[in-house]
Amino acid sequence: AQSVTQPDIHITVSEGASLELRCNYSYGATPYLFWYVQSPGQGLQLLLKYFSGDTLVQGIKGFEAEFKRSQSSFNLRKPSVHWSDAAEYFCAVEKTGRRALTFGSGTRLQVQP
Amino acid sequence: NAGVTQTPKFQVLKTGQSMTLQCAQDMNHEYMSWYRQDPGMGLRLIHYSVGAGITDQGEVPNGYNVSRSTTEDFPLRLLSAAPSQTSVYFCASWRGEGTEAFFGQGTRLTVV
């Protein structure tokens, strides 16, 4: 079955530390890839997206993600985490022609002072 | 620019009652979707639409109906609410394939 996997349910990092959130997908061809962030009680906001070309994409709020075709992965990174980054992060894919997003189960990020 | 507006924000229903969750967007987006969010399960697609008059089922469509009579509106109807439909519901719209999806603030529904 086609799916999106975020293996880490909950991650805690110290403020200023680096962050990597993992995402793997299982589709026959490379889909459109997205990372969204959800602050408590809010809707989702797009951080970044990948369609083709350069495998390292830059997003808002200092986030970046790297697409690795051989590993079917699209991991999200940030060099130095801020307390305001505490939120839930969702990886999503849109299969070409599917016209809807499929989401992973999310990773909740907690930031310690 | 309001973006995607969902009403109501909160709702409590009794088992067997019906209701409609409203979703409106003012960005002239062709694509719209409804998702439900449950703890540990991410967002699951209920129904989606690629334009007025065109709808299709997602992963979890049972118990829900939709219609799309205008580009702007995409209401979600619960015909006979069940406790299993207790969830947070999100509506999203986007311009086309591979573009950014814009989400409403969500409707928290409790069925007792």
Contact assignment for A101 to B33 by CB distance below 8 Å: yes
Contact assignment for B42 to A90 by CB distance below 8 Å: yes
**What φ, ψ does residue A63 adopt, rounded to 5°?**
-85, 155
Nearest to B105 by CA among B83, B93, B94, B89: B89
pLDDT at A82 over 80: yes
Q: Kindly state the average pLDDT of the residues A42-55.
A: 91
Q: Kindly state the average pLDDT of the residues A72-96.
A: 94
Contact assignment for B106 to A43 by CB distance below 8 Å: yes
Those residues of chain A whose CB sits closer than 8 Å to some CB in chain B are 4, 6, 9, 32, 34, 36, 41-46, 49, 51, 90, 94, 96-97, 99-106
Band (A40; pLDDT cuts 50, 70, 90): confident
Each of the 112 residues of chain B gets a pLDDT tens digit; together they read 679 999 999 999 999 999 999 999 999 999 999 999 998 888 999 999 999 999 999 999 999 999 999 999 999 999 999 999 999 999 999 998 888 999 999 999 999 9
Q: Rounded to whole angstroms, how far apart are CA atoms A36 and A48?
A: 7
pLDDT of residue B19: 96
pLDDT of residue A91: 97
**Count of CB atoms situated within 10 Å of the CB of B86:** 16
**CA A47 from chain center: how many Å?**
8
Mutate to test the interface with A, among B5, B37, B97, B107 (most CBs of A within 10 A): B97
CA distance A99 to chain B (A): 6
Q: Rounded to whole angstroms, how far apart are CA atoms A26 and A34?
A: 14
Mutate to test the interface with B, among A36, A101, A107, A108 (most CBs of B within 10 A): A101
Band (A1; pLDDT cuts 50, 70, 90): low
pLDDT of residue B40: 84
